[in-house]
Amino acid sequence: MSPGTIRARHVAATGVHRAAGRVMDILELVARTRGGLALRELSAQLEAPKSSLLPLLRTLTARGYLEQGALGEYGLGPKALELGMGSPAHRAWPEIARPVLRELMQRTGETVFLGALGGDGTAVVFVDKVESEQVIRYAAGVGDRRALHATSSGKVILAFLPARERERILRALPLKRYTDRTVTSLPALRAALDEVRHTGVCVNLDELALGAAGIAAPIFAPDGRVAGACAIGGPTDRVRPRLKPLAAQVKAAARAISALLGHRGEPPATSRRDPVFREDGFQGRRRQNLGDE
């Protein structure tokens, strides 16, 4: 008996609304699939006719729960991601932050991201973006997940989590090596997070992918907890010569978003000293050990 037949019998037996169930099937399948799914793929995996899926997909896209990529693939949209962010005060924050993101993109010329901790605590999820107008640019989709330990957004969020929660996540993280610059030991990662807490910004050069750079700063909720990260991403060769001004612009944008969310005062545990950027791109007074220990 096929999964489609089993599902149909279950619906009939329980009285579940068929169309509502199909909407949930679509959202759950898209959420599990990195890179999005085309209509034909959704039809095949859900064992449903394209003609019955298309109106649902169009409605979900129009309402912002799905978004369609350049090749027609469907991925999660901002509204779906907002629903998973917890309290009602947090659910509207991508919409609140968008004007600041647009301005940051115009000022820096790079793609700007809004990131939040994934529900499973193992990745950062992009909940909104404003794409650069440059021909060569950093590209990632809303809903895409990235490793916490190998991204500027991920490390910023980790750095400002409560100590007990941060340590629980760190002990469970698989510190996968993506490049020879990826931090793959807990002592080195803890030291890097300490530096991020002191400076209020994280710079990442070539740690997730060679040639890709990111700069992120924390966004805070009214209660002082870290709500997410504001980040820019671009080619390393274009970002490296501008580290100091770009870092200042990202920090200013993150503070503006925090203020719009209702946060007041200095970011928790952040000193007023500026980060020190070395010629090799490493942040802080000394290069941390990146290898396994």
| CB 27, CB 42: distance < 8 Å | no
Q: Report the distance separating Cα 251 and Cα 105, nearest Å.
A: 13
pLDDT at 110: 94
Neighbouring C-alpha atoms within 13 Å toward the C-beta of 39: 14
Write the pLDDT tens digit of every residue in 33-63: 756 789 999 999 999 999 999 999 999 988 8
| CB 250, CB 232: distance < 8 Å | yes
Question: Cα 280 from chain centroid?
Answer: 26
Identify which of 70, 64, 60 has the alpha carbon closest to the alpha carbon of residue 19. 60
Q: What does pTM read for this prediction? A: 0.65
Statement: residue 15 has pLDDT above 60 = no
Q: Report the distance separating Cα 204 and Cα 189, nearest Å.
A: 13
Rounded to the nearest integer, the mean pLDDT of the chain is 81
Q: Report the distance separating Cα 192 and Cα 186, nearest Å.
A: 10
Q: pLDDT higher for 31 or 168?
A: 168
